[in-house]
Structure 1
Amino acid sequence: MTTTGEEEAKARPGPWWWVRRRSALLDGGLALASALECGARGVPFARDAGIPVAVGVVFGVLAGSVLLVRRRWPIAVVLVSIAVAPAQMGYLMGVVGLYTLAASELPRRIIASLAGMSLLGMFVVTFVQARQLSDSEVRVGDWAVPFIAVTMSVGMTAPPLLLGMYVGARRRLMESLRERADSLERELQLLAERAEERAEWARNEERTRIAREMHDVVAHRVSLMVVHAAALQAVAPKDPEKAVRNAALVGDMGRQALTELREMLGVLRSGEGVRAREVPPAAVGEVAAAVVVSRAEAEPSAEGPCLEELEELVGQSAAAGMVVALSVEGEVRLYTREIEQTAFRVVQEALTNVHKHAAGAKTYVRLAHRVSEIAMQVENEPPPEVASASSARLPSGGNGLVGMRERVVALGGVFVSGPTDAGGFRVSAVIPAT
C-alpha cells in the first residue's frame, strides 16, 4: 500500500522545524560538510590574522554550522556566508544559502538585495585573490584579473539563485494545483450531493404523481361500482330488469378500472429500466438531465382523459343515480394534455366526493373556456335525508382535495373548496391556458 508525501509527513514528523526526518538528515549532512570546509580554511586564516590556530578552526566550524538552520533562517545563512567570504571560507554555505533563499517565500526585493550583496562580496574576494596570484606567482594581463573575478562571482551566484527560483516556482505551482484539485473535489462532492437531492426529490415527485393517478383511477370507478352494487342489492327483488342493467354497468366500470390500472402498471414497468440505470460518478452534471429523461419517459404513453370525455363522465354519475347537470360556457378549444387531464381529474374527483359524502344530492358541473384560462366548478346541494341514511358508506382517505389542489397549483392555477351557505359543497379551480 502506497502513501502520499503528506501522509508520510504526518506519519513520521521531523524534529523542530523540519517537516520530515529526511530533510533534517540532509541539512545535518550539509552543515557537517560546511563546518569541515570552514574549519579547514580557518587554519590559514588564523595564521594570516596572527591568532591561535585553534581559534581559527573553532570560528570556521561555528560559521559553517550555520547552514543547519537554512530552512528556518535563510537570510542569516546568506549574511554569514557574505561575512566570512573575506576569510576565503563558506563557499558551500554561500551556494546552498542562495539556493534556499531563492526557493523560499520571501519577497523578491529581499532576495535580489541579498543576491546582489553576495555577488559583490564574491567579486571583491575573487578579484583580490586573482590580483595576489598574478603579483606573486603567475604573470597575467590586466584584463584577466577582472575577467576571472566576474566569471567566478557569477558562476558561484547565478546557478544556485536560478535553480532556487525554479524550484520555488515549481513548488508553488504544485501547491496551487493541489489546492485547485482539492477545491474541484469538494465542488464535485457538493454537486454529487445536490444531484442526489434532486434525484430524491424527483423520486418523491414521481411517487406522489403515481399515487394521485392511482387514486383518481381507483376512487372514481370503484365508488361508482359500490353505488351501483348498493342499488343492485336494493332493486334486485323488486325490479330484476333494472338489476340486470345495474349489474352490466358494474361490469363495464370494473373493466374500465382494470384497463386504466393495467395501463398505469405498464408505464411503471417500462420506467423501471430508466430509473435503474446507474449514473457514473464522473457524470455528475448529467444526473439532472437523466432525472428529466426518466420522468419524461415515465409519463403515460396514452393521451389519458381529456375534456371531450367530460360528458361521458357526467353520464356515468347520472347512471349511478346522481342528479347532475353539465353546462359549458365559452368557445371550446384545445389545451395541452396536462391542462385537459387536470381539469378532467378535478371534475372526476369532485363527483366522486359527492357520491361518497352527499349521495342523492343534486349536482351542478360548470366548465368555462376563457381567453387565457379555463375554469371549472362542481357544486352540490345538501343531500336528502333519506338518501343520506341509505348511503353506501364509501370509505374516504382524505386525499382527494389534497390531490386536486396539488394538480392545479402545479400548473400555476388556483384551487378553492369549501361548504356553501345552503349546506352543500363547492369545488372551484382556475387553470391558465398557456
Structure 2
Amino acid sequence: MTSAGEEQGGAGRDGPLWWERRRGAVLDVGLGAVSALECAVEGVDFAREGGLPTVAGVLFGVAVGSVLVLRRRWPIAVVLVGIGVAPAAMGFLLSLVGLYTLAACEVPRRITATLASMSLVATFVVTYVRTAGDAGTTPTLVVVLSVFMAVALNVPPVLLGLYIGARRRLMESLQERADSLERELSLLADRAEERAEWARTEERTRIAREMHDVVAHRVSLMVVHAAALQALAPRDPAKAAKNAALVADMGRQALTELREMLGVLRAPAPARSAPVAAAAGVAVGAPAVAGGGLEDGPTLAELEALVGQSRAAGMVVELDVRGTGPGRGYAAEVEQTAYRVVQEALTNCHKHAPGARVVVRLAHREGEVAMQVENGPGAADVVRPELPSGGNGLVGMRERVVGLGGVFVSGPTDSGGFRVSVVLPGGRP
C-alpha cells in the first residue's frame, strides 16, 4: 500500500525497506519520533490516572507513538492503534496522520469509511466521557463539544487524504497517457518514415520502368533501322535515305520523351504525383507518365502508329482489334498500361526474333480489355541486331498489370515463338 505522501519525482527506487524514496523514510521516521515524544508526554498522565509507574506510561507512549513509522506499510494497523489508545487520551498526531494516510492510499473505500467512522465514534465517546463531569457544563454543551472534537479530529484528515489520493492517481493516469501518446507518436513517425522510404523506392522503380519502356523501344527501332541502313546504303541509296530520316525522327522522339521524364524529376514536389499517390496507397504497379498527369500518356488509339513504326523497321506485324471500347475510353492508367505492354512486347520481338511474323490482338470485352502479342520463330537468314537486354522487360510488364489488378501470362509457344497475354479491368475514365 502506498500513500499520497510518497513523492512522485525521480525514477527508480532508492529508499530502504518498504519506502520507495529515501526522503519518504526520513519523513516517516521524523513523524514517528514526534509522535513518540507526544505519546510519551501523554503517557505520564495516563500512568498517573491508572496508578502505574511513570516509566511504564512513558514507555507505553513511546511504543504507541512509534507505530506511526509504519504508516505507509500498514496504514490500517496505525489507525486501529490510534482508535485503541483513544480512551487513554494520547496519539492525536498518530490518529490524524494515520487517517490521512489511510484515505490517500489504495485501501478499498469501504474499509476507509468503516475505520474513519470507528475513529469518529471513539473520539466522540472519549470527549463526552471526559467533559461530562466538568463543572459548569450542560448536557447540550457536552454533546456539541463532543461532536465538534470528533469532526475536527477525523473529517479534515480523511478529506485531505481522499483529495491527495485522487490527485495522485490523476497525475499517474496523465503520466501514463503521456507515455502512451509518446509511444504512439514514435510509432507514427517510424511508419511515416517507412512510407516515405517506400514511396521513394516506388518512385525510383517507376522512373526506371518508364525509362525502359519509353526509351528502349525507340532506341531498339533506331538500332534496327541503322542496321538496315548499313546494308541498303551501297545498293539502294533512296531507301537508305528514307531509313536515315526514320532513325533521325525516332531519335528526336526518344530525346523528347527522355527530356519530359527528366523534367518531372526537376519539378517541385507537388507536381510529382507518383510519390504522393504511392504514399496514399495507390497500387504498386499503377503507372505514371513522364510528362505529368496520366491523361498525357499514350492511349490505345495510338497502337496503330506504334505498330506502324515496327512495320517501317521491316517487321511483319498484324494488328487484330475485336469489339469496341467504351465511348469515352478506359481509365487513363489502363490505356497507358495496355500501350506499354504492346510496346515492350514489340521491342522484345525486335531484339530476340528478328524477321519473325508478329500478331497483335486487342479485344474489348465487357468490363475489361485483353491484349496478346505473339511472334513466330525468328528468320534464320536475318542478322540478329546487337541490342543489350537487362532482363527487366517482362518484370516491368508484370508489375504494371498486377498493380492494376489484371492478369499477366507469358511464355514460349509450341511453334518456337513467344506469347504475351494480358487482361486488364476496364475501369472508368
Structure 1 length as normaliser, TM-score? Answer: 0.90
Alignment pair present for 1:399 and 2:396? no
After superposition, where does 1:28-107 map in structure 2 within 5 Å? 28-107=29-108
Contact 2:199 2:276 in 1 (8 A): no
Once the two structures are TM-superposed, the CA of residue 195 in structure 1 deviates from its matched residue by 2.2
Q: Separation in 1 of the partners of 2:235 and 2:267?
A: 49
Q: Separation in 2 of the partners of 1:381 and 1:393?
A: 20
- Matched residue pairs, number? 411
Percent same amino acid at aligned positions?
A: 67
Aligned to 1:327, which of 310, 320, 323?
320
Alignment pair present for 1:341 and 2:343? no
Contact 1:124 1:149 in 2 (8 A): yes
Aligned to 2:154, which of 133, 152, 157?
157
User: Are residues 179 and 267 of structure 1, via their aligned partners in 2, closer, same or farther at CA, if it must alter by over 3 Å?
Assistant: same
CA offsets per residue over residues 199-243 of structure 1, 9 Å max, x none? 222222222211111100111001001111111111111212221
Structure 2 length as normaliser, TM-score? Answer: 0.91
3-state SS of 1:386 partner: coil
After superposition, where does 1:225-304 map in structure 2 within 5 Å? 225-272=222-269, 291-292=279-280, 300-301=291-292, 303-304=296-297
Aligned to 1:179, which of 176, 179, 191?
176
User: Are residues 108 and 431 of structure 1, via their aligned partners in 2, closer, same or farther at CA, if it must alter by over 3 Å?
Assistant: same
After superposition, where does 1:114-133 map in structure 2 within 5 Å? 114-132=115-133
Once the two structures are TM-superposed, the CA of residue 292 in structure 1 deviates from its matched residue by 3.5
Contact 2:199 2:278 in 1 (8 A): no
Alignment pair present for 1:352 and 2:347? yes
3-state SS of 1:427 partner: strand
Aligned to 2:3: none
Aligned to 1:224: 221
Contact 2:271 2:292 in 1 (8 A): no
3-state SS of 1:100 partner: helix
Q: Separation in 2 of the partners of 1:289 and 1:392?
A: 39
Aligned to 2:411: 418
Contact 1:34 1:64 in 2 (8 A): yes
Alignment pair present for 1:361 and 2:352? no
Contact 1:103 1:164 in 2 (8 A): yes
Contact 2:83 2:122 in 1 (8 A): yes
Q: Which structure exhibits the higher relative contact order, with contacts defined as CA atoms closer than 8 Å and separated by 6 or more residues?
A: 2
Aligned to 1:315: 308
User: Are residues 141 and 179 of structure 1, via their aligned partners in 2, closer, same or farther at CA, if it must alter by over 3 Å?
Assistant: same
Read off the aligned partner of 1:301 and give its amino acid letter.
G
Aligned to 2:367, which of 366, 372, 383?
372
Q: Separation in 2 of the partners of 1:406 and 1:159?
A: 75
Once the two structures are TM-superposed, the CA of residue 51 in structure 1 deviates from its matched residue by 1.3
3-state SS of 1:335 partner: coil
Once the two structures are TM-superposed, the CA of residue 189 in structure 1 deviates from its matched residue by 1.8
Contact 1:274 1:294 in 2 (8 A): no
Q: Separation in 2 of the partners of 1:290 and 1:428?
A: 27
Contact 1:102 1:165 in 2 (8 A): yes
3-state SS of 2:10 partner: helix
More deviation in 95-104 or 262-271?
A: 262-271
Q: Separation in 1 of the partners of 2:336 and 2:281?
A: 21
Q: Separation in 2 of the partners of 1:426 and 1:9?
A: 70
Alignment pair present for 1:433 and 2:412? no
Q: Separation in 2 of the partners of 1:335 and 1:223?
A: 29
Q: Separation in 2 of the partners of 1:386 and 1:274?
A: 50
Contact 1:304 1:341 in 2 (8 A): yes
Contact 1:81 1:93 in 2 (8 A): yes
Alignment pair present for 1:306 and 2:328? no
Q: Structure 1 stretches (4+) deviating beyond 3 angstroms? A: 271-275, 287-296
User: Are residues 204 and 175 of structure 1, via their aligned partners in 2, closer, same or farther at CA, if it must alter by over 3 Å?
Assistant: same
Q: Separation in 2 of the partners of 1:201 and 1:271?
A: 19
User: Are residues 157 and 408 of structure 1, via their aligned partners in 2, closer, same or farther at CA, if it must alter by over 3 Å?
Assistant: same
RMSD, aligned α-carbons = 2.1
Q: Separation in 2 of the partners of 1:165 and 1:235?
A: 103
CA offsets per residue over residues 62-110 of structure 1, 9 Å max, x none? 1101111111111111111111111110011000000000001011111
Unaligned runs of 5+ in 2: 1-6
3-state SS of 2:381 partner: helix
Once the two structures are TM-superposed, the CA of residue 114 in structure 1 deviates from its matched residue by 0.8
3-state SS of 1:51 partner: coil
Q: Separation in 1 of the partners of 2:338 and 2:182?
A: 48
More deviation in 154-163 or 364-373?
A: 364-373
